Amino acid sequence: MNQLAQFDAWSAGQNYEQYMGRWSRQIAAKFLPWLAPPENVRWLEIGCGTGAFTAHILGKCAPRSVLAIDASKDFVAYAQAQVIDQRVRFETADAAKLPAPDASVDVVGSALVLNFVPDRVTALAEMKRVLRPGGLLGFYVWDYPGGGMGFIDAFWKAAAEIDPQAAELDEDRRFPFCTRDGLTKLCREAGITATVEPIAIETVFSDF
């Protein structure tokens, strides 16, 4: 675990749902129709977390099967308990070493994960390796440098005002590549030709 990754405490399922899962679900509802994957095909999901994106794949994309992996065994256990479907199998694994043979899946999907993976190019190359020729790869991340996730951006800006050292934890500094050009370049380095499009949602809170 690198020094900053210790702050990405990906293990408490219920907390994660309140913090991020509910927003990820809203992006998934827009992202999957945009991706327009074929039905009755083999999916691999990278970084399933609590299963927010997994549930959308199962509910909206009529997959034949979904192998959903995550580096956190706690999240895998949570997702397994929440997403009950005979077509899905959850497994603890690293994005940089996918538990699937070459050219064995039709669609690779990933939601809000790539920026947290230390070796992103290796992870993208792994996704390409397991994808059959002509297969589909789609992922989304927040556009941190553009102030993309408003409440997170506001939190870190306020934290840095109180404690200047907190500025180094601000995600726009940690993930400067989460831009159209940055993501296109990362994909190119992994041998993938990418189309990068913005997707926006409103994060509405009932009270402060």
Ligand X SMILES: C[S@@+](CC[C@H](N)C(=O)[O-])C[C@H]1O[C@@H](n2cnc3c(N)ncnc32)[C@H](O)[C@@H]1O
The answer to whether 47 and 68 are in contact (CB under 8 A) is no
Q: How many residues bind ligand X, per CB under 6 A?
A: 22
**Residues 149 to 178: which contact ligand X by CB under 6 A?**
none
Q: Tell the smallest beta-carbon distance from residue 30 to ligand X (Å).
A: 13
122, β-bridge pairs: none
Residue 115 binds ligand X (CB under 6 A): no
Residue 190 binds ligand X (CB under 6 A): no
By CB under 6 A, name the one of 13, 20, 107, 153 that touches ligand X. 20
Q: List C-alpha distances in Å: 92 to 49, 71, 97.
A: 10, 5, 11
Task: Select from 57-65, 109-117, 157-165, 177-185 the region that touches ligand X (CB under 6 A).
Answer: 109-117
Residue 113 binds ligand X (CB under 6 A): yes
Task: Select from 17-25, 34-42, 164-172, 182-190 the region that touches ligand X (CB under 6 A).
Answer: 17-25
Residue 34 CA to residue 193 CA, distance in Å, equals 17
Q: Tell the smallest beta-carbon distance from residue 161 to ligand X (Å).
A: 25
Residue 88 CA to residue 91 CA, distance in Å, equals 10
Q: List C-alpha distances in Å: 16 to 9, 11, 58, 194.
A: 9, 8, 20, 29
Residue 49 binds ligand X (CB under 6 A): yes
User: Which residue stretches of the chain are H helix?
Assistant: 13-16, 22-35, 52-60, 73-82, 120-130, 150-162, 171-174, 180-189
Binding residues for ligand X, rule: CB under 6 A, are 10, 20-21, 24, 46-49, 52-53, 70-72, 75, 94-96, 111-113, 116-117
